[in-house]
Amino acid sequence: MNVAASATGSRLISNWAVGAPVRPVPFLPAPAFLVPLFILLFGLAISSRAATSGPKVEPPIDWERLIRAHLVRYPLMEPNDLYKLLHQASLGSEHAVGDTVAAREWLERELAGMGPGPAEPLIDSLRADGWVVRIHLRPFVAAGGDPEAILQAFIGTAADPGDREDLRRAGEVAVRLARAKALPWPGSTVSALFAGLAAQGYPAVHHSAAFVEHYRPAYRVVAGALLRAVLPVGDPKARPGGRR
């Protein structure tokens, strides 16, 4: 597959944590992606920040930036999608890896059936400390990424399960924003959701039907410290004109 730059393509790495503006992306067939080395090295810098085990305590302002950035990109997201975002940012992929065989089959099915979707960054950092990221599968495949590499990183991420206290603090930020009318849902709705899920031990949830319909999510949550093993740096398939 030829990999070419696209003026309408997404950024390869999301930059919500540094306060850059985030704009909604149009629903487009997955574009071809040029993977400049300097941008991938920025992704590797995330892995350097996340080299120590476990997340650091995330300041409330960083949770707020993450929430606001995703609301701009995904204006039709629902409270469950907000909770899922904060759950992944706090706990990584611990809930999703029951066994290696199932994880492999799930990835194979998703890669085979995901089809086109919105323009997305290759890497979505979910925390300012770089502890965990989403790697979007469409640009990953377009860049020549190795499915086995992302599978192993996804499984490895589950070994470092994060902190439910961090999720509780993130939920407090979400409730505060909702009560201040900074979110599109009533404060009572967000408060009841987080309180109910906290009482259940903060289980994982699925994306809402609206989110799936409009944004066709296809990604894996991976520890920032494992990005070096995942990004297709130096792989001839990731260079313009490469084949896969």
Q: Dump pLDDT digits (tens) for 181-229.
A: 999 999 999 999 999 999 999 999 999 999 999 999 999 999 999 998 9
Which band of pLDDT confidence, cut at 50, 70 and 90, is reported for residue 12? low
- pLDDT attached to residue 97: 66
Name the residue with higher pLDDT: 230 or 52: 230
Q: Please state, in angstroms and rounded to a whole number, the distance separating the CA atoms of residues 139 and 224.
A: 17
For residues 162, 165, 170 and 172, what is the CA-based torsion angle, rounded to 10 degrees?
170
Q: Kindly report each contact of residues 20-29 with a partner whose C-beta sits within 8 Å and lies 24 or more positions away, as own/partner.
A: 22/69, 22/72, 22/73, 23/72, 23/73, 24/72, 24/73, 24/74, 24/75, 25/73, 25/118, 25/119, 25/120, 26/118, 26/119, 27/117, 27/118, 27/214, 28/116, 28/118, 28/119, 29/116
Name 132's bridge partners.
223
What is the rounded average pLDDT for all residues in the chain?
A: 80
Classify residue 9 as left (phi > 0), alpha (psi -120 to 50) or beta: beta
Domain boundaries, the chain: 56-233
Q: What is the pTM of this model?
A: 0.76
